[in-house]
Amino acid sequence: MGLGEWWDEHAVPRLVRLGCGSEHIMDLRRQVVPQARGRVFELGCGGGLNQGLYDPALVSGLAGLDPSGKLLDYARAEAAAKGWQADIRQGFGEEVPFADASFDTVVCTFTLCSVNDPARVLSELRRVLKPGGVFLYAEHGRAPDPEVLRWQERIEPVWKRIMGNCHLTRPVTAAIGEAGFVTSPIARQYMRPGPRWAGWMEWGTAVKAGE
């Protein structure tokens, strides 16, 4: 195993779990994840960080997908500890292994930054969501301020290599809207403390356009 493979397999999952489990990030998750209802699909479920935020009285089933075997170990351990009968699989968001209109709620938190094809992933999330279902999202991405964006563009080539393909400059709410959702943002702002180039956050809810 080369250094790059070792880093991606062992170091990146620990860095992701640490960074995405910080108290400030968890505060954002708490504003979104508890809204989940019915049968829930979570993209980027590895790490299991959202599992404690679901209301078991409102969630009838949980399925998840993540490409990282190490992060899935964490997720499955969390599910077992909570007694969830969760269908947690290894895979990529570009090909979600569930049928059309399978879920009442789709959850995606701090995941779109690292997928290979965001438009295809969002299309898949729309596909598996039932008519009238809700898409819950919380992501970091492209800053609206030109000076901050310039720093993001400078840092991103190195950042994505050491942080598991995490991009700094991807749009969030706009991309979700372009994928056929009607968005209802809760907030868009810089997270503090932290560097502004890594701290632009957008979170909210969305439904399928025309449904």
pLDDT at 81: 86
Max distance between CA atoms of the chain, in angstroms, equals 49
d(CA 23, CA 194): 12
Distance of CA 28 to the CA centre of its chain: 12
86, β-bridge pairs? 62
Position 2 pLDDT exceeds 90? no
The helix, strand and coil proportions of the chain, stated in percent and rounded to the nearest 5, come to 40, 25, 30
Sheet containing 181-190: give its strands across.
86-90, 59-66, 38-43, 103-109, 129-140, 200-208, 181-190
Position 1 pLDDT exceeds 70? no
pLDDT in tens, 104-120: 999 999 999 999 999 99
Position 28 pLDDT exceeds 70? yes
Q: Structural domain of residue 194, as residue ranges?
A: 3-208
pLDDT at 3: 61
- CA angle centred on 31, ends 25 and 37, rounded to 5°: 120
What is the CATH number for 87? Answer: 3.40.50.150
- Count of domains in the chain? 1
Q: Is the pTM above the cut of 0.85? A: yes
pLDDT at 15: 76
Position 65 pLDDT exceeds 90? yes
Q: Provide the percentage of residues in the chain whose pLDDT is more than 90.
A: 76
